[in-house]
Structure 1
Amino acid sequence: MNNDISNVQVYKEEIADLVNAHDKGDYLRVLLLSPQLLILILNKIANEADELFSSMWEKNITDDDKEVYKIVGRLEREQNDKTYIANCLVNYYENHYWGKDKSKKEFVKYFTKLEDLISLRNEFAHEYYASKASNKRVKNCSKGALDLVFLFANHEYLNAA
């Protein structure tokens, strides 16, 4: 995965802030803020995709179809963080983003990072002082959160924006 901040097209300052927090050992900051940043990035990708597809298909889609797709798109964006991000990972899997031979393996790897991130974020949000999470798990989860952020922040639709 390319975690080079210079290749990022959106939310560069926010991503740099999370990278710096991780490097300084402020993993809690990364765990609490990265899911929201992922949602912002994914919304930006969705908006770019909407614009791209509407310009390509505008003459073939009725106004009713556009209205229905807009409503469903809004509903998808209102899902909980984990479901929304997981659906985007499924899209990468279905489109063989990682190549046909590695798609399942990469999907499972990123989905596992997502599950751990959301689980640990929720644990800390509700039981920070009672949490028994090991420092190694917290650090690894923080790194996984950054991997997810960079995965989507380097999306091809964002390069054209």
Structure 2
Amino acid sequence: MSTKISDSHPFFKEIINLIQAHDNEDYFKVVMLSPQLLVQIADAIGKVAEEVTYCIVGDCLSEEDKEVYKLIGKLDRDLSDKAYIGHGLVSYYESEYWPKNSSKKEFIKYFTKLEDLVALRNVFAHEFYKKEIVDRRMKNCSKAGIDLILLFASHEYLHDYFEESA
């Protein structure tokens, strides 16, 4: 599986590790770990977005407004993986990341991948020894996890995040 992530990307090692696991048919590892990596990437995007928002409208916001937005941001981060990543997909949709004529289709495609990935991860976590999982589903969900990671990892804000963290 190929990737366009440079070795200077802040999550390069983790992404490459999961891509290699997928290529080595360690689908269990990818399904279990990709939602966690997606949350970490979404957190990094969110931190930069928060800083950008404060730079743009910071003077317009009262201290009370800033505190309210900070608290709701914390609540968003405490949501389930699926809901938190889903909010990230909505951001892609709202920002018109995808071409206007296919934006809804792309959102649904990635949202469906997210739903299946998290559902299978939950089966692994709670019923691994009780249910037999079809190899094709494991492979497809593993691929979906990689696709979602690459979508989030390509976000323009991560370049800013990496520069500030360095």
- With normalisation by structure 2, the TM-score equals 0.92
- Map 1:4-153 to 2 at 5 A: 4-6=4-6, 9-153=9-153
CA contact (8 A) 1:82 1:115 kept: yes
Amino acid at match of 2:105: K
Deviation of the 1:4 alpha carbon: 1.8
CA contact (8 A) 2:76 2:84 kept: yes
Distance 1:140 1:3 in 2: 17
Amino acid at match of 1:15: I
Distance 2:150 2:29 in 1: 17
Distance 2:53 2:8 in 1: 23
Deviation of the 1:158 alpha carbon: 1.0
- With normalisation by structure 1, the TM-score equals 0.94
Seen in structure 2, the aligned counterparts of structure 1 residues 156 and 7 have a Cα distance that, compared at 3 Å, is farther
Divergent runs of 4+, >4 A = none
Q: Which moved more, 1:50-59 or 1:140-149?
A: 50-59
Deviation of the 1:7 alpha carbon: 7.3
CA contact (8 A) 1:9 1:154 kept: no
Identity %: 49
Report the secondary structure of 1:108's partner residue: helix
Report the secondary structure of 1:129's partner residue: coil
Q: Give the paired residue count.
A: 160
Amino acid at match of 2:67: E
Unpaired runs of 5+ residues, structure 2, are 162-166
Deviation of the 1:132 alpha carbon: 2.4
